[in-house]
């Protein structure tokens, strides 16, 4: 851990977020730029229309690809040293590649490095690949792990009755599993959208018109060439842009993660509340301290940590989603600085998911407290009783149950005495008399079929 790191992502949370460095760090940005530049050089050697770039040997292609595949921290420092002179980060990458091929058989094609490219042709493709990797290889598997863990917990507790709370007040009972399943279902929809995200790329020059391309090779099918190249990188081609790719897909990606995060905040707060009610127990871990002065405490710190990091993630991602699609005319540089923070937004979400997973591992259901709470709230059966009375033609059943139950605590004897006094068909009366708060859960347990469990 870098104890003097300004950001906790590079300090306190480094171990939890460090893997993202392979995709969204400064090093990663330079590496992916090198990757795009060498792949474009190789592509030109295979395009008949660009006749001034000869075909490369297999060994030459392997050499170029190793510049990206073997790109390490020392290589990135070399690029940064060049940038110290150029004061231009993409030009520094171009010069880096030229430096490494000047004494090889590829020296004759050195001037075709970065040929017909504006910096944004390289940058937008690099960022597309970075985001695709960060989400697909780091964030998405972790999010799926959280959803799966909550789904398993829901399945284990599908039949465990629990007093529901609406407006913070006792309400018709539910089951623990069904309430957890609600979050699973919500997350599943968001993950479907994340899996189906498009990662767009453009490759059309300084203002999106292939101006330089046509001046060099006027008869070449440049749109087809650009589309083929972008798709060869695993991205979706955007055919109509200014100097920059318009960033709408970035906004879509960030808002999809933000929606997942918002559901997770809701989850964290509900779990926190259930812990405070005593519905869930937290297992103690040897050596851990809950409070510096109150030795008995086992605080729900993992869910609190998760909630805090989710808020940080959303603050960054939502800003990026709103800012990035806006650019003055053909190009301004406000997106350049903003894009360097994509890792910040994703990293805080990654940290939050890990915290929630740690919290889940320490949870178990306290069935004694759940049962006690249900037994202390027989008034919740008022909904069932007035509904059966209404079905059987009683006058003002809601009002009668309101007078009996609203603002007061009633017990089993009071409720059963009231039921006995009603003129109801014998089967309806018998069903109501048999009912308890713990059994009044509707089809809650069956609803878990909607999460595939």
Active site residue ranges: 167, 291
The whole-angstrom separation of Cα 411 and Cα 381 is 10
393: exposed, middle or buried (C-beta count within 10 Å: 0-12, 13-18, 19+)?
Answer: exposed
* Strand pairing class (363-365; 280-282): antiparallel
- Per-residue buried b or exposed e for 85-110, using 16+ beta carbons within 10 Å of the residue's own CB: eeeebbebbbbbbbebbeeeebeebb
CA 288, 291, 296, 298 dihedral sign is: negative
The whole-angstrom separation of Cα 316 and Cα 339 is 11
The whole-angstrom separation of Cα 340 and Cα 48 is 37
Radius of gyration of the chain (CA): 30
**Helix or strand run (H / E) with residue 418:** helix 412-420
Residue 204 tokens read as 């059309």
3-state secondary structure of 161: strand
Nearest to 379 by CA among 302, 444, 436, 331: 436
Nearest to 279 by CA among 378, 177, 182: 177
The whole-angstrom separation of Cα 339 and Cα 249 is 13
Indicate left, alpha or beta for 119 from its phi (over 0: left) and psi (-120 to 50: alpha).
alpha
Per DSSP, the chain holds a count of helices (H) and strands (E) of 20, 6
Other Cβ atoms less than 10 A from the Cβ of 327: the count is 17
Distant-in-sequence contacts of 103-111, Cβ < 8 A, 24+ apart: 104/60, 104/63, 105/57, 105/60, 106/56, 106/60, 106/63, 106/64, 108/54, 109/41, 109/45, 109/53, 109/54
Our measurement of the distance from residue 188's CA atom to the centroid of its chain's CA atoms, rounded to an integer in Å, reads: 11
CB 21 within 8 A of CB 342: no
């Amino acid at each position: 851990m870098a104890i003097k790191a300004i950001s906790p992502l590079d300090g306190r949370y480094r171990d939890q977020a460090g893997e993202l460095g392979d995709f969204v760090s400064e090093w990663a940005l330079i590496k992916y730029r090198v990757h795009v530049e060498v792949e474009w050089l190789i592509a030109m050697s295979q395009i008949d229309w660009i006749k001034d770039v000869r075909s490369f040997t297999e060994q030459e292609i392997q050499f170029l690809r190793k510049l990206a595949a073997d790109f390490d921290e020392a290589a990135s420092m070399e690029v940064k040293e060049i940038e110290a002179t150029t004061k231009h980060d993409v030009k520094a990458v171009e010069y880096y590649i030229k430096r490494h091929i000047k004494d090889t058989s590829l020296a004759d094609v050195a001037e075709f490095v970065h040929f017909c490219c504006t910096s944004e042709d390289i940058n937008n493709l690099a960022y597309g690949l970075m985001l695709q990797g960060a989400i697909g290889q780091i964030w998405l598997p972790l999010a799926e792990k959280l959803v799966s863990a909550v789904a398993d917990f829901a399945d284990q507790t599908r039949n465990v009755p629990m007093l529901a709370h609406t407006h913070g007040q006792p309400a018709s009972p539910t089951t623990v599993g069904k309430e957890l399943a609600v979050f699973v279902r919500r997350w599943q929809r968001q993950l479907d959208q994340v899996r189906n995200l498009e990662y767009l790329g453009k490759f059309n020059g300084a203002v999106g018109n292939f101006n330089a391309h046509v001046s060099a090779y006027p008869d070449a099918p440049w749109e087809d060439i650009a589309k083929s190249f972008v798709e060869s990188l695993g991205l979706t081609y955007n055919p109509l842009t200014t100097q920059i790719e318009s960033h709408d897909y970035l906004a879509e990606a960030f808002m999809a993660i933000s929606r997942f995060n918002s559901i997770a905040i809701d989850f964290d707060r509900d779990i926190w509340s259930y812990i405070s009610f005593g519905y869930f127990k937290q297992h103690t871990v040897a050596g851990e301290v809950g409070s510096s002065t109150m030795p008995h405490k086992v605080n729900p710190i993992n869910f609190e940590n998760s909630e805090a990091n989710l808020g940080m993630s959303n603050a960054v991602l939502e800003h990026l989603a709103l800012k990035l699609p806006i650019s003055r005319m053909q190009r301004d540089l406000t997106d350049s600085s903003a894009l360097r923070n994509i890792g910040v937004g994703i990293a805080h979400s990654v940290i939050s998911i890990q915290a929630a997973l740690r919290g889940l591992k320490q949870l178990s259901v306290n069935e004694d407290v759940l049962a006690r709470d249900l037994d202390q709230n027989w008034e919740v059966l008022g909904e069932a009783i007035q509904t059966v009375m209404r079905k059987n033609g009683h006058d003002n059943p809601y009002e009668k149950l309101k007078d009996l139950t609203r603002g007061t605590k009633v017990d089993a004897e009071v409720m059963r005495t009231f039921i006995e006094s009603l003129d109801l068909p014998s089967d309806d009366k018998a069903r109501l008399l048999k009912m308890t708060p713990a059994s009044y859960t509707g089809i809650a347990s069956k609803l878990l079929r909607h999460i595939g469990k």
